[in-house]
Chains A and B, each alone.
Chain A
């Protein structure tokens, strides 16, 4: 395709740029175009997690949430052992049912549950951290059509100098609507 690379200059006041797609294949083409142009600063929105989109955007890079999960689970495993073991060791003479002060078999259940609990909570935290929720997103991303049926490629802050070029590229890939600035009107679809 041979488009020149576009660089976003952050010191330059940006322009909101939004391309709305009605069709998945057009969106994919748009993403491919942005990728090919090495354009940065865009976000894709979709009403559902299509793996084609995610593959196109992330090119198989895994989500770092998994490290949160692993850390949480390992921490949970240890907490699940240390909590019962240390608290029991604090009262070594309080001996229920003749079991040793630190009894691995009964503690295995606690360890398992804590692994799951802490792993899940860490995953949740990781998800929130990485995906930025709850977050005040840029206004341009708050488009009710996205949760309905439309796809978008949004530049929350496209460099003014690039806007026209980007517009052209997006229209070319099949965007049904390309708007800039705050001129877009977002309406709640009729139920």
Chain B
């Protein structure tokens, strides 16, 4: 692939309209054009993005030698989505700090020198009888065998935000460390003890999409209810219908108590007597600070709702009782025998902290001759220094890092052999037992990196020329899969002839199968398809002592920076934190009452101190932490990790000691801090204005009980929106049936529209980052972000009403009567025949009037000409121009994709129209959304989601009084805490909450919603 390199010069380099001073461009054609690639047309390669404990099947968008974007792979049984992490991996692929080649003691070296050095080090260690050890994150598939054979089993696969407690609990409960599989699709009740299963770092492989299905009444007349037991309600927890703010470290007590109550209700208490032996409702209530009634309520829901599933704690639950909590959730799931819980989750080797600590001990003892450290998580910076990892690595006889990015772990190693990443390498991963994701390189290597497999094979060959397997890594993966494929690769007689002629290589049939597998990107083994129930052993759960002490420090994983591996990704830093809107820095979440007690407010510096150390960090006053808890995110505060990560935020590890749970797993939680106001201001940058939408109709609620029976069926339960109010239209105009002063524009073929389901939206930020990737949005940095100049076209608004969090992604609404259009003096923005609000950058003179007129605040202005440090510019989309200074920009509904898909259909006939199926996930945001919250379509097509959803009772349009007739409509969030609105004989009757001023009638829709407003 990529023979001869890139084709044309990079075209996305700015609106350069100064014609006399533009240099002549050069054209570099391919030497021989690869068959799959057509210059000017994107080619999609199935690939896998591995991110910590999670792996995602995606499609890499290839243009002229480089990967410019990732799109959802809609063929795999896993979620068809582009999670934020996949996009962050893409940006990491082009990180300007990525190593240009191998390093030896900080100095550049060559592969020809580095690989023999590795081989001789291994040979020396083996000769001396010392260990060759491997330290890295989770790896699965063919590479694991290669690693094992190189290290002789001395391999530690440990993730900082890993699932070792779950594995330990699985060992305890089921006798095997293989993780169970969760399938939330049919769950009516999801009880989470803190796992970030909605777009976070937990790694539940598709749980976000499954939950979206369970949540939507359109998939089976129910609305899943989500309860969270955790001292902190983060991005995932924000979706919880019920938040039980249990004290930090008491989740296991609650889980076991609930299990006991549920078992009693189900009458299976005796069967689980051993496991439930430690359960005590009163003690759990005392430890957690929840009332017994609350625990009983959880149990009631868990036992009575048709299908309930409990999720473990993830990072949030990794306290001294981490394993106990995981085990308790397993027991809870077993008690109800829920189909949502079965065997066959992530199978790959998971090492516990104890295993890592054993390696550290070996290293310090000098018994490790060669230490190989994988790319990925920067454990030295992530883990508290009390674990002594850095010193241990330095104590190794020889240490080799495979990191292609600078990090503290890499800096501790002697030699760095940067490896190719997922976009450059062959590979396979088993994300869920039996489901294999296979990948091929999808772009030319950005830097002089080598495949990990090839490095290991070359080392092996150097050590043992006779015993080493033949072929390169690509051939090894192919051979492994062709061997595994067996009868999956049907052979024809013709193939047999060819096979006879060349007996050693793979047959054409096998090659055909392999190529189609690569094209699909996955192989589903029979073991994946069949769900296997889990049966518990006998045993019991030892609950840790109830936590006590002053302020608890709750450590959580920020959804973008995660364990810090994306801290050097500008997108991860500049995409606003979903809950706080914070960018470029760390902040401690403090409950308003606690903040008042400490005498601090937003952006005040707070000194947090433990006996391990202290940190000064800015305060974000936040209602979603317990009063006795402060919350601080992991993954920031790096040194030597690259230009964007260094000096950004603080590293929470400085406050922590070596915390382990009862079974030797990593415990992030449990530290107690002393907090004192520093009396100085921090430098926090929040992109959020007011938390409250002031009843302006930006965030709406529908009663779940009203939605569940009918879903979004047409004309169902109109007027169910709770608390909807707006300005009534003039009665005389209503009587005359006049909607607006001017007629709505005509849209002869398409009127593109977008539907955003705020009930499905989890605020995971995938859409916002996908938009950055697709539309060449520049990253402006902290200083400019503080001035409010971040360029995101999608603003995931977060409103808090009555303790509920609403995520409302807001982009240009492509209004029918757009206030921005009529005010532009030079017609740089206008309404197209397709109903889009066009923005012609090169016509814009920059009056910024449009942004002032826009009631949605959707327009962004280029205050400067932003550039992309090399090689981040290689990620730029050539179909979208990079804007220069002084130009307004905004969401275009990905007009470049619309243009392409229209062209693609026009290729087959001049008057061909694009069908709905090709439009649904066309825009980058809709394509990315793992919750299926965003759907694109043609409003002129009654069957399209945007057209049909406008007839739903959940449909609403923010600030409809402005009468802009937007092309984006929103669907209200379902609530279990609101009674359905009273149904009157017709709409327009009051809805019981007192401030309703008419509801269904002010959703101006042009497609279908033509009924005249009937206001009382």
Contacts and interface: CB of A to CB of B under 8 A. Distances in A.
Instruction: Consider the complex of A and B and state whether they touch directly, i.e. have CB atoms less than 8 Å apart.
Output: yes
Interface of A: 91, 93-100, 106
Contact of B742 (A93, A94, A100): A100
Nearest to A97: B822
B867 interface: no
B758 interface: no
A96 B829 contact: yes
Contacts of B965: 98
B824 A96 contact: yes
Contacts of A99: 742, 822
Contacts of B740: 98
B545 interface: no
5 contacts: A97-B831, A98-B743, A98-B818, A98-B821, A98-B965
Interface string B803-820: 000000000000011111
B819 A97 contact: yes
A95 B745 CA distance: 8
Contacts of A95: 745, 821, 830-831
A93 B744 CA distance: 13
Contacts, number: 42
Contacts of B820: 97
Nearest to A98: B817
Nearest to B744: A98
B833 interface: yes
A106 B816 CA distance: 19
A94 B822 contact: no
B744 A94 contact: no
A10 to B, nearest CB: 58
Contacts of B715: none
A99 B818 CA distance: 10
A97 B817 contact: yes
B740, B742, B817: residue with the most chain A Cβ atoms closer than 10 Å: B742
Nearest to A88: B827
B822 A96 contact: yes
A94 B840 CA distance: 12
Given A95-B821, A98-B816, A98-B817, 16 more contacts: A93-B833, A94-B830, A95-B745, A96-B818, A96-B822, A96-B824, A96-B827, A96-B830, A97-B818, A97-B820, A98-B743, A98-B744, A98-B818, A98-B831, A98-B965, A100-B742
Q: Which of A94, A95, A99 has the most CB of B within 10 A?
A: A95
Contact of B821 (A91, A93, A97): A97
Interface string B880-899: 00000000000000000000
A97 B819 CA distance: 6
A25 B591 CA distance: 94
Interface in B820-848: 820-824, 827, 829-833
A98 B745 contact: yes
Nearest to A94: B830
Contacts of A96: 818, 821-822, 824, 827, 829-831
Interface size class, chain B: 20 to 34
A93, A96, A97 — most chain B CB neighbours (10 Å): A97
Chain A binding site: helix, strand, loop or mixed by DSSP?
loop
Contacts of A97: 817-823, 831
A96 B743 CA distance: 12
Nearest to B840: A94
A95 B818 CA distance: 10
A94 B1015 CA distance: 35
A96 B819 CA distance: 9
B568 to A, nearest CB: 43
B349 to A, nearest CB: 61
A106 B741 CA distance: 13
A94 to B, nearest CB: 5
Nearest to B742: A98
A96 B830 CA distance: 4
Nearest to B824: A96
Interface in B157-185: none
**Which of A91, A95, A96, A99 has its CB near the most chain B CB atoms (within 10 A)?**
A96
A96 B829 CA distance: 7
A78 to B, nearest CB: 22
A68 B816 CA distance: 45
Contacts of A91: 827
B827 A94 contact: yes
B1004 to A, nearest CB: 12
Contacts of A100: 742-743
Contacts of B822: 96-99, 106
Interface in B715-765: 740, 742-745
With most chain B CB atoms within 10 A of its CB, the pick from A91, A93, A98, A100 is: A98
Nearest to B827: A94
Contacts of A106: 822
Contacts of B742: 98-100
B967 to A, nearest CB: 13
Contacts of A94: 827, 830
Interface in B7-65: none
B890 to A, nearest CB: 15
Q: What are the 9 A-B residue pairs with the smallest beta carbon separation, nearest first?
A: A97-B822, A96-B821, A98-B817, A97-B821, A96-B830, A95-B831, A94-B830, A96-B822, A98-B742
A100 B745 CA distance: 9
A165 to B, nearest CB: 68
A99 B742 CA distance: 6
A74 to B, nearest CB: 27
A106 B822 CA distance: 10
A93 B827 CA distance: 12
A95 B742 CA distance: 12
A51 B822 CA distance: 51
B281 to A, nearest CB: 62
Q: Which residue among B740, B743, B830 has the maximum number of chain A CB atoms within 10 Å of its CB?
A: B830
A99 B817 CA distance: 8
A58 B908 CA distance: 82
A98 B823 CA distance: 12
Contacts of B827: 91, 94, 96
Contacts of B817: 97-98
A173 to B, nearest CB: 62
Nearest to A106: B822
Contacts of B818: 96-98
Contacts of B833: 93
A97 B823 CA distance: 8
A35 B391 CA distance: 118
Contacts of A98: 740, 742-745, 816-818, 821-822, 831, 965
